[in-house]
């Protein structure tokens, strides 16, 4: 940590050189060099500090003061709070391994992740949300490399046949064949998450990870056809649930969606997508 005098001197030099010094103020805080998001530009120091405050009030208890997922509450939780330091996010609209968009993070933070302790932070105002998202980005170096960014994928609208029960059954039958070949190894033939490969799976955080029971009342990705299509297209970064965008064409992915919907509780077969 630099002394006040040293920070003042750096600021003065920056000002003389005509450099904006919003991130220079970071030098006054006891963060490791890798934490100072100075290379990203864009966000103001005020926004960063506002985000830090919201994070400390709402998120730190699980995600930890260094964003490593080791908050006070973490050790007793069956699904560990995400460490933000590796920069991998499961729920995105971008290709596998790419960073999420701000909207993706907004959806997770306000919508929560069903079946985990990650709650819905709907009470945060728009500015607090924006600030928290900015603050989350300071935890990982991945946010500082242009290569890790990608635009959101443009997802196709759900096919019209989804509304027709008879047609849906036909497509679900095609989807079942694909499911047996490509998904059952992990998710089990019945979609209950007990496939032969299920036991040995680990995620990028070194924790064992269970294939989702696709029959449970609520999936984390959302319960609508578009939500399931999205996860098949993007995969869940940091987990063995990879993208199937290369292996399966768009019509085949919708067939699989129809099959997954057929496994789900009746009342959830035609819900509105969380993010249509
Ligand atoms: C009670 C514990 C808890 C609190 C408090 C909490 N989270 Fe989480 N959070 C989790 C858990 C558990 C996961 C991991 C879920 C999973 O792996 O599916 C998670 C995952 C996430 C993710 C990663 C989503 C992805 O795509 O991989 C983000 C982003 C996130 N939380 C943001 C926040 C923010 C911002 C706050 C505060 C406003 C917050 N969390 C508060 C438990 C918590
Ligand atoms: C190599 C093993 C593996 C294969 C193959 C696989 N999955 Fe997964 N899948 C997983 C794991 C593990 C998770 C949960 C990841 C987590 O919890 O972080 C998951 C999660 C999911 C989810 C998200 C559930 C939620 O709560 O959001 C859906 C939907 C899904 N898989 C469907 C499929 C379909 C359909 C296929 C075949 C096209 C498939 N998976 C193939 C391992 C696999």
pLDDT for 252 beyond 50? yes
From residue 64, how far is each of 57, 220, 248, 263 by CA, in Å?
Answer: 11, 22, 38, 37
- Per-residue pLDDT band for 14 (boundaries 50, 70, 90) equals very low
Q: CA 261 to CA 271: how far, in whole Å?
A: 10
Mean pLDDT, residues 188-209 taken together: 94
For 143-187, how does the pLDDT look when each residue is reduced to its tens digit (9 = 90+)? Answer: 999 999 999 999 999 999 999 999 999 999 999 999 999 999 999
pLDDT for 28 beyond 90? no
Give, for ligand 1, the residue of 91, 118, 220, 241 to mutate: max count of ligand atoms closer than 8 Å to Cβ: 118
**Closest by alpha carbon to 158, among 150, 148, 145, 167?**
167
Per-residue pLDDT, 5: 53
Q: CA 48 to CA 25: how far, in whole Å?
A: 11
CB under 6 Å to ligand 1: residues? 58-59, 61-63, 73, 77, 79, 81-82, 89-91, 105, 108-109, 113, 116-118, 121, 132, 220
Per-residue pLDDT, 265: 81
In sign, the C-alpha dihedral spanning 224, 229, 234, 240 is positive
Position with higher pLDDT, 273 vs 141:
141
Per-residue pLDDT, 2: 44
**Closest by alpha carbon to 272, among 231, 219, 222?**
222
Per-residue pLDDT, 13: 44
CB under 6 Å to ligand 2: residues? 90, 182-183, 185-187, 197, 201, 203, 209, 211-212, 214, 219-221, 228, 231-232, 236, 239-241, 244, 256, 260
pLDDT for 12 beyond 50? no
To the nearest whole percent, how much of the chain has pLDDT over 70?
80
222: left (phi over 0), alpha (psi -120 to 50) or beta: left
Residue 22 burial by Cβ neighbours in a 10 Å radius (0-12, 13-18, 19+): middle
Per-residue pLDDT, 41: 53
């Amino acid at each position: 940590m630099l002394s006040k005098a040293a920070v003042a001197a750096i600021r003065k030099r920056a000002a003389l050189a005509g450099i904006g010094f919003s991130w220079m103020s970071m030098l006054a805080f006891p963060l490791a060099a890798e934490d100072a998001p100075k290379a990203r530009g864009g966000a103001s120091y005020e926004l960063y500090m506002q985000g830090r405050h919201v994070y400390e009030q709402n998120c730190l208890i699980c995600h930890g003061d260094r964003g490593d997922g080791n908050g006070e509450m973490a050790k007793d939780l069956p699904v560990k709070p995400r460490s933000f330091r590796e920069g991998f996010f499961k729920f995105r609209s971008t290709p596998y391994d790419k960073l999420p968009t701000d909207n993706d993070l907004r959806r997770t933070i306000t919508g929560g992740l069903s079946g985990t302790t990650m709650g819905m932070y709907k009470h945060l105002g728009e500015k607090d949300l924006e600030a928290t998202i900015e603050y989350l980005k300071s935890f990982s170096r991945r946010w500082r490399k242009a290569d890790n960014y990608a635009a959101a994928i443009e997802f196709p609208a759900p096919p019209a046949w989804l509304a027709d029960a008879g047609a849906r059954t036909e497509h679900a039958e095609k989807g079942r064949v694909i499911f047996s070949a490509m998904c059952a190894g992990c998710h089990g033939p019945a979609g209950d998450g007990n496939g032969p490969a299920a036991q040995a799976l680990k995620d990028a955080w070194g924790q064992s990870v269970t294939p989702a029971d696709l029959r449970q009342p609520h999936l984390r990705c959302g319960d609508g056809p578009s939500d399931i299509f999205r996860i098949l297209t993007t995969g869940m970064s940091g987990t063995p649930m990879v993208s199937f965008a290369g292996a399966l064409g768009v019509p085949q992915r919708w067939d699989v969606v129809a099959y997954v919907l057929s496994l789900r509780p009746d009342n959830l077969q035609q819900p509105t997508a969380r993010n249509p």
